[in-house]
Amino acid sequence: MRVTKKTKEATRKRILQEARKLFSKKGFDAATTRDLASAADIAAGTLFNYFPSKEAIVLALSRHALDQSQKNFQAMREECETLAETLFAHVSAGLRSLKPFRPYLYPALGWALSPALRGDAVPDAEAIRVDHLEVVEGVLQDYGILDVAGPVALHLYWTLFTGVVAFWAQDDSPHQEDSRALLDHSMAMFARELSTKGDL
């Protein structure tokens, strides 16, 4: 039987929905790919046609959540007064949307959000990176410093961002307040780096 694009999309969506429920219920480690396939009503082998691993499922969930967070960020963006604050608001909006996945985000981060990751090895991870940096470029453009920033600065930014996300995923301070301090620190440091380069 030929699987249509529409059916494929529906199956993928169902897997993500069931995975989210199962991870919350059983925990990331305890939920097996067999459990996931069964919950999504597909054969165990079929699951791998969609996602190569459980980590890839987490990344797909994260990507979807981060896409949703853009609306919140755009609403908050208006009220930001500095570059550092705007970047802070952007990442904060993302972290808020990722919060439901925080308990099982860390295992997926190690390899998927690596600054060394390139190409389509993990499509969702690459998409997260590209989409996120596209917004950052837009912010820098708004502040008229995109030319000053350049690829090295964006790489530096991505390193800071992934560091903050990794810290946040394991942050046991009350309401992850230490992560907010780290994020604030990181974004201010990045903005300062650009201001010294561009003499802003």
Least distance (Å) between residue 75 CB and other proteins: 10
As a whole number of angstroms, the distance between CA 88 and CA 85 comes to 5
| 89 lies in the binding site for other proteins (CB under 8 A) | yes
Q: Considering only CA atoms, which of 44, 38, 14 is closest in space to residue 26?
A: 38
Least distance (Å) between residue 19 CB and other proteins: 26
As a whole number of angstroms, the distance between CA 157 and CA 188 comes to 11
| 185 lies in the binding site for other proteins (CB under 8 A) | yes
From candidates 10, 30, 43, 181, binder to other proteins by CB under 8 A:
181
Q: Determine contact, residues 200/145, Cβ cutoff 8 Å.
A: yes
SS3 175: helix
- Please provide the DSSP assignment of 61-80 as one string: HHHHHHHHHHHHHHHHHTT-
User: What are phi and psi for residue 85, nearest 5 degrees?
Assistant: -65, -40
Burial pattern 111-124, b for ≥16 Cβ within 10 A else e, equals ebbeeebeeeebeb
Calculate the CA 28 to chain-centre distance: 17
From candidates 161, 182, 190, 194, binder to other proteins by CB under 8 A:
182
Tokens of 161: 């961002």
Nearer to other proteins, 42 or 80 (CB): 80
Nearer to other proteins, 146 or 188 (CB): 188
From candidates 68, 141, 170, 173, binder to other proteins by CB under 8 A:
173
String of contacts with other proteins for each residue 37-76, x by CB under 8 A: ---------------------------------------x
| 78 lies in the binding site for other proteins (CB under 8 A) | no
Nearer to other proteins, 91 or 122 (CB): 91
Nearer to other proteins, 54 or 77 (CB): 77
Least distance (Å) between residue 192 CB and other proteins: 6
SS3 144: coil
Which residues contact other proteins (rule: CB under 8 A)?
76, 79-82, 84-86, 88-89, 92, 96, 173-178, 180-182, 184-185, 188, 191-192
